[in-house]
Copies of this chain bind each other. A is one copy, B any other.
Amino acid sequence: LNTFGAQVLYDFAAEPGNNELSIREGETITITNQNIGGGWIEAKNSRGEVGLVPEDYIEVSNGYIYIYIYCMYIRAEDDEWDEEWDDVKSSGGYAESEAGEGGAINRGGAHGSSMKISRNNNTHNKDVIQFIGEVGPVWAYPDYQLDCVVADPKKGSKLYGLKSYIEYQVTPTTTNKPVNHRYKHFDWLYERLLEKFGSAIPIPCLPDKQVAGRFEDEFIKMRMERLQGWMTRMCRHPVISSSEVFQLFLSYKDEKDWKMGKRKAEKDETVGVMVFSTIEPEGLPDLDLIEVEQKCDQFNRFTRAMDDGVKDLLTIGNEHWKRCTGPLPKEYQRIGKAFQNLSSVFTSSGYEGEAALTDALTAAGKTYEEIAQMVAEQPKKDLHFLMETNNEYKGLLGCFPDTVGVHKAAIEKVKEADKLVAAGKITPSDKTTMSKRASTMSYSLQAEMNHFHSNRIYDYNRVMQQYLEQQVKFYEMVKCLNNIKS
């Protein structure tokens, strides 16, 4: 593992003989081992002295609290991370946010105890995880479900026409006032959401970038549709949809507002694992680790199996799509032509009284041509939505291993706590803190699992209903076509 630079937030005086390292506020140190446990990490100062320091007293240089219950922020090794390493000024931190920001705890629901998540140090909006007996913790969903419409793609240009781009109109159902966004703005939003919520909430990727032919109508239409799907999914998430950055994206007032909001969002420091620090599991019991682990394992198995299932469906769906838009309608067309050809041959017989037959043959031939067209167009009507939904889920499922991995690592560390207490490396009070933190992560993950499940059921119910309806319509239409002609 790499070592990471960190800023010292507060003075800390080492207790002699305890292998600790004294540090001073403002000092820069290097983390040499983040896997110590017990709220401690091993660090090296500029003089080359190595020792343990309390994790709460330091902050990784880019403003993220690097370690949260000994769990490495997995995305830390991404190139993108390195790029931003020095850009963001450090301030704030876990200890701070844990201490401050109380806010109303939503206990008003019929569903028992609950806990809050304060999404941002600078906002007083509160999201709540409610504990519901049946499915466990769930996010508190707003009464009014936010949605938005992505529409009306328009070609714009700048630099006197040297650079052209497509601008989409995004209209939130709340304000009903459209704002314009280019793909790169969506991409910016994605990066912000990933940075801020990525440890707790799987943020699905945006639809692929495509350079060649990106102004072709078909491509623009498809990208718009996928951006719509992505935005709808984000809107549906209570934590994301009520976040300041998302609200900014949906309803900035003017260019100045947008630019200022952007700058502020980019400076947001409650990002990465810090998102957990804003969850205060007040009044909620600590969760049973073994039960949580089992749930995680089950969810892990589930997402993996679903991922396989979804990929399988996508593979066969793609094959079926190709057959339905390629060889099959071509064959129907050829059958249609063969019937019509036979009809015109029969017409040339010079024999009387076969008008009924030649009409029937022509009609059958035309029916086949119509069927060919219907077959070729059908995938867009039924398979398309099924494929898009599964494609979306493929992306979403790809995010879960990271999210679950973050949590699993935290649990592992908590399990080591007993040994560490026994060895006198941490105090029982440290262990309690660790358990609380892990419990908070578990509540968050479970709320996220339940959010995923309920959305999955909603989405698949919808897609299956639409799919089967379109199938019935198709066969009804083909049957009618045949019926008329027979």
Contacts and interface: CB of A to CB of B under 8 A. Distances in A.
A464 interface: yes
Interface stretch (A104-112, A226-234, A237-245, A337-345): A337-345
A323 interface: yes
Interface string A110-150: 00000000000000000000000011000000000000000
A253 interface: no
Contact of A309 (B135, B302, B342, B353): B342
Contacts of A341: 309, 312
A297 to B, nearest CB: 11
Interface stretch (A71-79, A267-275, A476-484): A476-484
A266 to B, nearest CB: 37
Nearest to A458: B357
Interface string A312-355: 11001101100100011001001100110110011011111110
A471 B483 CA distance: 9
A349 B302 contact: yes
Contact of A313 (B342, B352, B353, B453): B342
Nearest to A368: B471
Contact of A134 (B348, B352, B454): B352
A449 B298 CA distance: 77
A306 interface: yes
A349 B460 contact: no
B460 A357 contact: yes
A339 B460 CA distance: 11
A350 to B, nearest CB: 5
A485 B469 CA distance: 10
B461 A360 contact: yes
Contacts of A476: 475, 479
A260 interface: no
A486 B472 CA distance: 8
Nearest to A462: B357
Contacts of A312: 338, 341
A317 B342 contact: no
How many copies are assembled?
2
Contact of A479 (B134, B352, B475): B475
Contact of A464 (B328, B364, B467): B364
A35 interface: no
Contact of A338 (B316, B453, B472): B316
A464 B357 contact: yes
Nearest to A481: B475
Interface of A is mostly: helix
Nearest to A466: B486
Nearest to A349: B302
A483 B472 contact: yes
A319 B331 contact: yes
B302 A352 contact: no
Nearest to A453: B351
Contact of A342 (B306, B361, B471, B479): B306
Contacts of A345: 302, 305-306, 308-309
A309 B338 contact: yes
A89 interface: no
A482 B468 contact: yes
B335 A331 contact: no
A352 B135 contact: yes
Given A316-B335, A342-B313, A486 B461 contact: no
Contacts of A475: 475-476, 478-479, 482
A301 interface: yes
Interface of A: 134-135, 295, 298, 301-302, 305-306, 308-310, 312-313, 316-317, 319-320, 323, 327-328, 331, 334-335, 338-339, 341-342, 345-346, 348-354, 356-357, 360-361, 364, 450, 453-454, 456-457, 460-461, 464-465, 467-469, 471-472, 475-476, 478-479, 482-483, 485-486
26 contacts: A134-B353, A135-B352, A298-B348, A298-B350, A302-B345, A302-B348, A305-B348, A306-B342, A309-B341, A312-B341, A316-B334, A319-B331, A320-B335, A328-B328, A349-B453, A351-B450, A351-B457, A360-B464, A364-B468, A465-B486, A468-B485, A471-B482, A471-B486, A472-B479, A472-B482, A475-B475
5 closest Cβ pairs, A-B complex: A468-B486, A475-B479, A351-B453, A313-B338, A309-B342
